[in-house]
């Protein structure tokens, strides 16, 4: 399937050209791979959001203690 209405910004097209040449792969192959990964990522994100919404609707929230532990661990990782 070809999409004639697809517009790629010139700066991205240049990068795509260089990557295709350097990797000895076609531009179409690279674009399809990138789009596949992007769509999978978006699907996972939307599924997690949906799960969170369902949990919120049934009142399934983390406790204050769990949040404090999370942020304490997160701030230690950043140090």
Q: What is the pLDDT of residues 4-57, one digit of tens each?
A: 788 999 999 999 999 999 999 999 999 999 999 999 999 999 999 999 999 999
Is residue 5 within 8 Å of 11, Cβ to Cβ?
Answer: no
Q: Which long-range contacts (CB under 8 A, 24 or more apart) does 59-65 make?
A: none
Residue 75 pLDDT level (bands cut at 50, 70, 90): confident
Q: Which single residue is written with the structure tokens 């076609």? A: 26
Output phi, psi for 60, to 5 deg. Answer: -90, 90
Domain ranges of the chain: 28-78
């Amino acid at each position: 399937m070809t999409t004639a209405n697809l517009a790629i910004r010139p700066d991205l097209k240049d990068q795509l050209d260089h990557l295709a040449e350097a990797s000895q792969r076609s531009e179409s192959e690279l674009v399809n791979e990138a789009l596949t990964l992007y769509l999978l990522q978006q699907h996972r994100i939307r599924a997690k959001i949906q799960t969170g919404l369902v949990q919120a609707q049934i009142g399934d929230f983390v406790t204050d203690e769990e949040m404090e532990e999370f942020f304490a661990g997160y701030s230690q990782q950043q140090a």
